Amino acid sequence: MCIINSTKLRRLIIQGRIESGMMATDVKRAKGEPSYINRSSNGLDQWVYSDHDGSQYLYFRDGCLASWN
């Protein structure tokens, strides 16, 4: 289950930042649509955000942001 205080969540979205525990819909609100999504059968999805600076990889488990690099 994704759990982040609603006040903190609003602040993160406005600042375009992410944090573990955010729901996938909230990550989209903060960062926009990913360049592409790799779905796996084990419940861990990888979202890729690519731009001129390189790529950022976000990992979701059961719809919640678990980690990124």
Q: Reduced to 3 states, what is the DSSP secondary structure of residue 2?
A: coil
Please tell me the predicted confidence (pLDDT) of residue 42. 86
Please tell me the predicted confidence (pLDDT) of residue 2. 83
- List strands edge to edge, sheet with 44-51: 36-38, 44-51, 54-61, 64-68
Domains, the chain: 6-68 (3.30.1450)
Using CA atoms, how far apart are residues 18 and 27, in angstroms rounded to an integer? 6
CA angle 53–23–41, rounded 5-degree value: 85
Using CA atoms, how far apart are residues 23 and 2, in angstroms rounded to an integer? 6
Tell me the pLDDT tens digit for each residue of 13-65.
Answer: 999 999 999 999 999 999 999 999 999 888 899 999 999 889 999 999 989 99
Greater pLDDT, 43 or 4 = 4
